[in-house]
A and B are shown apart, each in its own frame.
Chain A
Amino acid sequence: MPYSAEISRRSPGLIVFLLDQSGSMGDDFGTDGTSKAQASADVLNRFIQELILKCTRGEGEVRDYFHISVIGYGAQSNVASSILGADVVPISQLQQQPVSIEKKKKKVPDGAGGVVEVDQDFPIWVTPTAGSNTPMAAALNIAHQIIGNWISNNPHSYPPILINITDGEASDQPEPIAEQIKQMATSDGNVVLWNCHITGNNATRILFPSDEGMLPDQIAQSMFRMSSVIPSSMVSAAKETFDDPTISQNINKNSRTLAYNSDLIALIQFVDIGTRTSLR
């Protein structure tokens, strides 16, 4: 059965993030003044934090169940490059090397029926950037190379996961290389390409669309074509996560791994589905 390979320290998984850092990411994401760049960085930082917590075991050691790659694109014209200091970084190394750790107040139960405010650490690996154009194909080409190397060295591992966070309007031609990446596979299944297409407009949120015609414009339809068909083993997890009938009733075996115009919390839940596997 595909997508059932054990993720362990001996056979870790690979997660590659592509982060749109183009100028348009400086535009508003919602109504509270948050930019799309800030929202994307928040999603990515939160996701990496949660992944590190999943990998924290025993008496606090971080086990290298995952290796991570983050490729930013568009901070400078036509440039895509790794932003973690290396193309692929073991998760334990990320735990040790956040760019900074912010303190935020959090309310927790005090054990006597009330609540107290405590400081909570929010580590930061990715800072918001909004620069130039949107060389998405260039970023996908780097991902193609990284994933190809990974599969050569880990031919039986859980299939690599590629998550692209963007506002969509590529300045090059990303569809052909996206198609090539989706055809790459380990013995446990094909690479899954997840697209988080954020817009900042008031359009209806659409998760896991199964038909291109469900999307409102050509950019979103292109993102649909670049997204993978959801692996059948993840359909029930997707339905459980998004039990709102307006979403869950549309999730089926033809659904694509695309989140269009989603809020931050749903985006985090969306990308989490792809990595919800047994860690040994």
Chain B
Amino acid sequence: MLEIKTNFQSSKIGNDDTDNEDAVFFDLTKNKFAIADGATTGMYSQKWANMLVKSFINSEKGLFDDPSIFDEIITTAKVEWKNAIPWDTLAWNAKAKAEQGSFSTFLGLDLKPDAGFRWNAISVGDSCLFKIKSGQITGSFPLQNSSEFNYNPHLICSISDSYKSHITTISGMLETDESLLLATDSVSKWIAQRHETNPTENILKVLPQDNVEIKEFFGKEIDAGNMKNDDLTLLVISH
């Protein structure tokens, strides 16, 4: 049985909670998890990020069933996006901007019970998955180093198939003393930097348990210049 150890989200400091354009969605009965980071430069990014994670989780099929399932998931989200926009009532600028599409990163994780759990993950962009064993990071996906994070990650667009050339996948096993940590770019880069500075650090002990304390902790890291002020998402899944 999988367990959510941490499910934390907060908006960029200075913004309202309703401005948060990160999305997280999971279903423990399906063993499926997803996060997405809507691009602030676009319009309806919050909607689009939420449609992507929900389309992934709500799909009857998973990454184990059919390699092409991801295209179906994105197509479903695209149709929903197009139907959700009130095209006829938009102001001239909103209509022109919406016609350019909405953009988001995506990271989906699908697990299957085995001796432990087998897992498949799929990604577009810089939202990351970290493998953790006894508290220590043993791998990350899709980015490997903190230097790989920049302001122009690959994105899934609501009106284009350009994401197809930027899909990356990975699979693995989750043992009893292991966790999988999913995070959007600001938290991911911060974790990658800490790991590069101190590879044996127990990241699960560094992170507070309680969401109020995590928010305070990350706020201090942002103030100290160790973390980018951005929407933050952190999901820790343990066996």
Contacts and interface: CB of A to CB of B under 8 A. Distances in A.
B40 A57 contact: yes
B43 A56 contact: yes
B41 A121 contact: no
B93 A58 contact: no
B46 interface: yes
Contacts of B43: 56-60
B28 interface: no
Contact of B93 (A53, A108, A280): A53
Contacts, number: 46
Contacts of B99: 108
Contacts of A60: 43, 90-91, 93-94, 97-98
A120 B91 contact: no
B6 to A, nearest CB: 27
B179 to A, nearest CB: 32
A279 B43 CA distance: 14
B144 to A, nearest CB: 25
Nearest to A121: B92
A264 interface: no
Given A60-B90, A95-B91, A278-B151, A121 B96 contact: yes
A83 interface: no
B19 interface: yes
Contacts of B97: 53, 56, 60
A58 B90 contact: no
Nearest to B12: A280
Count class of interface residues, chain A: 20 to 34
Contacts of B19: 58
Contacts of B100: 53
A45 B100 CA distance: 19
A10 B14 CA distance: 10
A60 B43 CA distance: 7
A88 B45 CA distance: 30
B46 A58 contact: yes
B164 to A, nearest CB: 16
Contact of B94 (A10, A54, A56): A56
Nearest to B230: A280
A277 to B, nearest CB: 11
A123 B92 contact: yes
Contacts of A101: 92
A120 B19 CA distance: 29
A279 B41 contact: yes
B95 interface: yes
A49 B92 CA distance: 10
Interface in A52-88: 52-54, 56-60, 62
B93 A95 contact: yes
B1 to A, nearest CB: 39
Interface string B36-54: 0000111111110000000
Contacts of B40: 57, 280
A55 to B, nearest CB: 9
B33 to A, nearest CB: 26
Most B CB contacts (10 A, CB to CB) among A53, A56, A120, A123 go to A56
Nearest to A50: B96
B201 to A, nearest CB: 30
A121 B14 contact: no
A10 B12 CA distance: 14
B223 to A, nearest CB: 15
Contacts of B93: 49, 52-53, 56, 60, 62, 95
17 contacts: A49-B93, A54-B41, A56-B43, A56-B93, A56-B97, A57-B40, A57-B42, A58-B19, A59-B94, A60-B91, A60-B93, A60-B97, A95-B93, A120-B96, A121-B96, A123-B92, A278-B151
Given A53-B93, A60-B98, A121-B96, 4 more contacts: A52-B93, A59-B43, A60-B90, A280-B40
Interface of B: 14, 19, 40-47, 90-100, 151
